Amino acid sequence: MASSEQRPVPSRMTLQTMKGKKVGASKGHSLLKKKSDALTVRFRQMLKTIVETKKAMGEEMKTAAFSLAKAEWAAGNFKGQVVESVRRPAITLKVTADNVAGVRLPIFTLQRNESLETVGNLGVASGGQVIMAAKESYFKALEALIRLASLQTAFFTLDEAIKITNRRVNALESVVIPRIEGDISHIITELDEQEREEFIRLKKVQAKKQERAAAAEADELGEAGGEGGAIFEDEDDDVVF
């Protein structure tokens, strides 16, 4: 077998260590499973929100395009004037994060500074009202676009986090915990075998001691009989012990 597949040394200390590892792995598996479930619930909710936001953004973009067409019909082509008058951005993007079960999801927030907007100076002669309507329509469409971008970015981040979490859950469930349980079973089997061997050895040692004690006792009895025996002679000169 390869060195990476060697079993741990069977001992009581190793057994306690492996049992502690099993408890830790089981707790980690439970926590990761709960995390995966929480992320999956949020993932499904976000998917539903993305579908609704796409539909709303389509309607907003259609409304904004129609408003721009009306503004150009009323005030002419004013795109060049808008581009030339822009000095600083009136709309900026702020990025924050939302923590979902330890996963930080990016959130894009639209910030609007109306004092920097230059569209208000246009349409003084004609078309001012429709230009303002087109501006508001495009602002709503931009809000929907940013909201969709935020949801999709968080969606991909959440999807990757769910895949990583599920891989860890499967690794703990299918590889780590069974391997620890196999090591624990191996250690228990080896310790039981050692106990049986020790018991048999002690029995053999005890049997040897008993044999030696019995032999020594027999020798002592033999010696005592030889020293204490009396010799008598009868009338026929026969020797009697």
Average pLDDT over residues 53-62: 88
Q: Percent of the chain having pLDDT more than 90?
A: 22
3-state secondary structure 101-141: CCEEEEEEEEEECHHHCCHHHCCCCCCHHHHHHHHHHHHHH
Burial class of residue 128 (count of CB atoms within 10 Å of its CB; 0-12, 13-18, 19+)? middle
Q: What is the pLDDT of residue 231?
A: 46
Q: Does residue 85 or residue 241 have the better pLDDT? A: 85
Q: Does residue 179 or residue 238 have the better pLDDT? A: 179
| pLDDT exceeds cutoff 90 at 194 | no
Average pLDDT over residues 195-203: 87
| pLDDT exceeds cutoff 50 at 28 | yes
Average pLDDT over residues 206-220: 81
Q: Which range, of 182-191, 198-207, 223-232, averages the lowest pLDDT?
A: 223-232
Instruction: Give residue-wise pLDDT tens across range 138-192.
Output: 888 888 899 999 999 999 999 999 999 999 999 999 999 999 999 999 889 888 8
Beta bridge partners of 91: 112
* Domain coordinates in residue numbering, the chain: 35-163
Q: Mean pLDDT across the chain, nearest whole number?
A: 81
Q: What is the pLDDT of residue 120?
A: 54
Q: What is the pLDDT of residue 27?
A: 92
Q: Are 36 and 169 in contact (CB under 8 A)?
A: yes
Band of pLDDT at residue 83, cut at 50, 70 and 90:
low
Average pLDDT over residues 13-37: 90
Q: What is the pTM of this model?
A: 0.66
Q: Which CATH architecture has domain 35-163?
A: Orthogonal Bundle (1.10)
Instruction: Give residue-wise pLDDT tens across range 93-152.
Output: 888 888 888 888 888 888 887 766 665 556 555 566 777 788 788 888 888 899 999 999
Q: What is the pLDDT of residue 1?
A: 40
Q: What is the pLDDT of residue 167?
A: 94
